[in-house]
Amino acid sequence: MTTAANKYGILKTVLKGTALEVVETSMGDEQVTNAKLKEAIDALKKLVFPHQALQTQKRYMKKDLKKPFSMDVREFFNRVNTLNRYLHEFPGADADSHFNEEDMQEILVYAMPAMWRSRMDEVGFDPFADDVTQADLLAKVEALERYQRKIMSQKGSRKP
């Protein structure tokens, strides 16, 4: 599957309908090259992704993303980091379209329950300090998660 022709063949096998038409139109009658294939995939992305998808996704991650109650903190951190790694695949994105470490720290902190953020403040933990890594934040919020589950199990409750 290393040649552009093989990749194009797989695309033509997998795609159908409008998606296939977009790729075939973009490829034209020219020789199949990796550059031409990239152009076709970019055209396909424009078909599949909504208008301003990158900006919308980044805005959502910064302003509206919240950890679901039913999801473990570690799984949530992993998923958010995976989303961040995929941002460069959006239409109009480049290799620098992902969030940097500082932005990711802010996103993860504000995605946590307000009660946990208050508790971090009460105990003097500053998640934005220069020496606090994402691993440090994860350890702190996992401890808060364990504590919350312990309290809830003692109360016989599922949600706080």
44 SS3 class:
helix
Residue 155: per-residue pLDDT: 79
pLDDT string in tens for the chain (160-residue length): 579 999 999 999 999 999 999 999 999 888 899 999 999 999 999 999 999 999 999 999 999 999 999 999 999 999 999 999 999 999 989 999 999 999 999 999 999 999 999 999 999 999 999 999 999 999 999 999 999 888 888 877 555 5
* pLDDT score at 149: 87
Report long-range pairs for 11-16 (Cβ below 8 Å, ≥24 apart).
11/37, 11/40, 11/41, 15/44
| SS3 category, 110 | helix
Number of DSSP helices (H) and strands (E) in the chain, helices first = 8, 0
**pLDDT score for 156:** 72
pLDDT of residue 151: 85
Residue whose pair of structure tokens reads 């199949």 in the numeric block? 32
Which residue ranges make up each domain of the chain? 4-48, 53-155
